[in-house]
Amino acid sequence: MEAPRVPRTNKPQNRRKVKTGCLTCNISKAPSKPKDKRPTALSNTIVLSQLQGVAGKSHIIGFEYFRKYTVNKLPGVFESGFWNSLVFQACVEDPAVLHAATALGAAHKNEEAISLVEYNQAIQHLRRHLNRLDNDALRLSLITCMIFACLELLRGGFKTGHAHLSNGMQLLREIQTRQGITSLDGPIILRTHPQSVEDALVEVFSRLNIQAMLFGQVSNHHIFVSEPAPHGPKYNIPSNFQNHTEARKHLDSLINGVYNLTQQGRNILHNQRQVSEQLYRWKEELDIALIRWLEAFNSSQKGLLANLTPRKMYRTPLLRLYHTMATIMAATSLRGTDEMIFDSYNSNFEALLRQATELWDMMHNAYLAFKKLTGYEMPAIFFTADMGFIPPLYYTVAKCRQPNLRRMAIEILMSAPHREGAWSGPLVARMARHIMAIEEDGIYEELDITPTYRLEQSKLPVVPPFLRFNDISVSLPERSGGKAILFCNRYRGRGEWITDNQEFEVALEESVSSRIWDSDATAYFARLWNGQN
């Protein structure tokens, strides 16, 4: 891993380079039985007293920002055992985690110089684990790895952030293999009811991994929601969900399954082989499971909508949005080269955009109400490590060729003032415009196309099959300010593929928050967000 760049100052700078590569991957791993303990919240007084002995007041403020605001924003609209409990427990136990958390809080507060110092301190302490062989060292390294991944993504270190993510997922699989939960070539298991520290780690890594997959980042990690290790792709959906988190875990498993099925279908296509009966059965299982998930979700609404807090009110519409996207993905997963099939799902895309618009209106109205109530303006760029409505909108632009719907998706993306992992609304909108312009090839130039989530009945030209992209992936730059590359593949028949590459800049202002809050504002937001006011 490479240490972050030092901001230019008049003082001499330390140019010593840090060893590249993810430190967590260099730890020797010896089998040992994990401790049977759940993450528990510890007193932050202990953490602050530790910081006071080794850091100045400004560094303590960085941790306080992390504690009061960052940990409430990173998980998005869902609580997280990792961010709300496990991280603070680890901060008490290990200085590497403490310095990493302080670095992330300082970066979130735009205190780059402090963040740099704390980041390098975390790396130095993390190296001390390299000679340890126990599982505790590996757990602490994985916690630090996730914090580093979020820190890099927040600062615009895209490739390093995704490297941390990929390495962490691989180590989680190895841990579960040693524990007999899965095998080295099997899926990572996300338990419905957490039983160990590893379960909290699996949950937070899996969310960020799914987000990366939806933007074309290839992943070899299949995730199942299960108690025992499954034998084959079976999705057991309960008749009702006890809470939104349980519903989300099952939906995450289905989205992950759809992605992996699509990847296998794509590999078969490129190798010019026939789709097996096993894959068709897998698709049928996913289709049925998605129907059962929606039935269970609908029957659970009375309980899910009880005792809503500002944070909880977004969960039902967000999960419905992802279910709509997953349904389209599953239905088209074994399409081969037939991109025209997506025209049959324009009504589904219409529903998706309606859901996204309603969710965005809820967010915008809540922001206006918060500003009126408190007088505070929220930071110009929100950052979350969880999935929001950006991935479904990107999927709509990539696969829905109906021009009104497509332009509506881009319009919503342009108005989104936040980032989800590496992806901001304006950045994804710029990618979307490149994709749309190449595919449409000017066929709508003379027409007045109105962005709307309501299907237009007028007869508009249809994007022909030979212009449609079958696969789209994006390679982000090393750092913000560089150029990203879109790789768009078209099938031209007889086994021939053509790739269109498009470069576009990733601007700095889309990667770093440009407004900070004082301590009173951060504390008030946390209480209000969690329904404590």
Task: Please report, in tens digits, the pLDDT of each residue of the chain (533 residues total).
Answer: 443 333 333 333 333 333 434 555 454 333 333 343 433 444 455 555 555 555 566 678 889 889 888 888 888 888 888 998 899 999 988 899 999 999 999 998 888 899 999 999 999 998 887 677 677 888 888 999 999 999 999 888 888 898 898 888 888 888 888 778 777 777 777 776 666 778 888 888 888 888 888 887 766 666 655 544 444 447 889 999 999 999 999 999 899 889 889 988 888 887 878 999 999 999 999 999 999 999 999 999 999 998 888 888 999 999 999 999 999 999 999 999 999 999 999 999 999 999 999 998 888 887 787 777 777 666 545 778 888 889 999 999 999 999 999 999 999 999 886 788 888 888 899 999 999 999 999 999 989 898 998 886 668 899 999 999 999 988 888 877 788 899 999 988 887 889 989 888 876 554 444 344 455 555 555 565 566 65
Cβ contacts of 111 within 8 Å, gap of 6 or more? 58, 61, 62
Q: Is 473 helix (H, G, I), strand (E, B) or coil?
A: strand
Q: Which residues make beta-bridge pairs with 472? A: 488
**Secondary structure letter of residue 85 according to DSSP:** I
- Is 140 contained in some domain? yes
- Is 197 contained in some domain? yes
Q: How far apart are CA 141 and CA 94, in angstroms?
A: 10
- Is 214 contained in some domain? yes
- Is 389 contained in some domain? no
Q: At what angle do helices 403-415 and 425-440 cross, to 10 degrees?
A: 160
- Is 280 contained in some domain? no
What's the gap between Cα 178 and its chain centre? Answer: 27
Judged on CB neighbours under 10 Å (0-12, 13-18, 19+), 132 is middle
- Is 195 contained in some domain? yes
Q: How far apart are CA 84 and CA 150, in angstroms?
A: 15
Contact 256, 286 (CB under 8 A): no
pLDDT of 355: 96
* Domain count of the fold of the chain: 1
Closest by CA to 420, choosing from 297, 322, 354, 327, is 322
Q: Which residue matches tokens 């039983």?
A: 195
Write down the pTM of the prediction.
Answer: 0.84
Q: How far apart are CA 435 and CA 253, in angstroms?
A: 29
Cβ contacts of 35 within 8 Å, gap of 6 or more? 135, 136, 196, 197
- Structural domain including 127 reads 52-223
Strands 423-424 and 418-420: antiparallel
Q: How far apart are CA 42 and CA 51, in angstroms?
A: 15
- Is 322 contained in some domain? no
Cβ contacts of 156 within 8 Å, gap of 6 or more? 479, 480, 481, 506, 508, 511, 512
- Is 208 contained in some domain? yes
What's the gap between Cα 174 and its chain centre? Answer: 22
